[in-house]
Amino acid sequence: MSAALDLGFAVLDVDRERRQGVAEVVYAPGKTVPQIVAIAQALLERQEGPVLVSRIEPEDAARVGRSVRGWTHHPDARLLVWRARRPAADAIRLTVVAAGTADRPVAREAALVAGVLGARVREIHDVGVAGLHRLLARERELRAADVVVVVAGMEAALASAVAGLVAVPVIAVPTSVGYGAAFEGVTALLGMLSGCAAGVTVVNIDSGFTAALAAHRMSIALRGRR
């Protein structure tokens, strides 16, 4: 099978599942519904595992779903999914930690994508550093994880706080939550990049999806050591 499939308006990387364990994920913005349908159908025919469409609006998700059966729509994460995996016995234990309720959509995207790819996911919400006792009360849960994803806006101090409590990899996701000087997530991004806890991986603003894929790649390495 060729590693690329030319649909005329898109060239699909149909070898990605073999290389990375997950098929190419469809980013919905900028694509028409017929284009999303064609891409999803092509991936489902040529890949064995999950197929995902990210950042899709509810109306478009419903229209795509009428053409390509077997889907699950997660509107809180703007995610459309076919063939979600069930966690294996050695699946990675991923904990997603969100600072506040406003960060929930990004945290849900991270949690759902990771779950679709086969991780065992736990979610901890509303434990921002303005009430640090809320985070400390969940310390045992945090330390039980193989990887922790931290989702926070404003000054994003939660990432350093969590990374100081655990010995496992921490993936930090800055969000665009915050007032004027938060600069739509830039302050959170810079705070995470310059945090005092060493070894934290930082992904793009509002990109729960990227954090989940980073955790998925880590899981491949972790399973190899077990």
Task: List, as one string, the DSSP characters of 15-41.
Answer: THHHHHSSPPPEE-TT--HHHHHHHHH
Residue 35: partners with Cβ closer than 8 Å, 6 or more residues away: 9, 10
Domains of the chain with CATH codes? 4-82 (no CATH), 93-225 (3.40.50.1970)
Quote the tokens at residue 38: 């064609």
Strand arrangement, sheet containing 51-54? 26-27, 51-54, 79-82, 71-74
Strand, coil or helix: 151: strand
Asked whether the predicted pLDDT for residue 220 surpasses 90, the reply is no
d(CA 41, CA 50): 12
Confidence at residue 2, expressed as pLDDT on a 0 to 100 scale:
65
Asked whether the predicted pLDDT for residue 174 surpasses 90, the reply is yes
Asked whether the predicted pLDDT for residue 223 surpasses 80, the reply is no
Asked whether the predicted pLDDT for residue 128 surpasses 90, the reply is yes
Task: State the pLDDT confidence band at 84, using cuts at 50, 70 and 90.
Answer: very high
Cα separations (Å) of 71 from 12, 41, 193? Answer: 20, 12, 37
Task: State the pLDDT confidence band at 26, using cuts at 50, 70 and 90.
Answer: very high
Asked whether the predicted pLDDT for residue 59 surpasses 60, the reply is yes
| % residues pLDDT > 90 (the chain) | 86
Asked whether the predicted pLDDT for residue 41 surpasses 80, the reply is yes
Lowest model confidence (mean pLDDT) among 16-20, 123-127, 137-141, 177-181: 16-20
d(CA 208, CA 200): 15
Task: State the pLDDT confidence band at 221, using cuts at 50, 70 and 90.
Answer: confident
Per-residue b or e along 126-146, where b marks 16 or more CB atoms closer than 10 Å to that residue's CB: ebbbeeeeebeebeeebeebb
Confidence at residue 20, expressed as pLDDT on a 0 to 100 scale:
85
Mean pLDDT of 56-63: 96
Confidence at residue 224, expressed as pLDDT on a 0 to 100 scale:
60
Comparing C-alpha atoms, which of 40, 51, 64, 42 is closest to residue 17?
51
Mean pLDDT of 86-106: 94
Confidence at residue 190, expressed as pLDDT on a 0 to 100 scale:
97
Lowest model confidence (mean pLDDT) among 11-25, 60-74, 210-224: 210-224
Pairing state of beta strands 11-13 and 4-6? antiparallel
Mean pLDDT of 113-122: 95
Confidence at residue 168, expressed as pLDDT on a 0 to 100 scale:
94
Confidence at residue 1, expressed as pLDDT on a 0 to 100 scale:
52
- Kindly report the average pLDDT of the chain as a whole number: 93
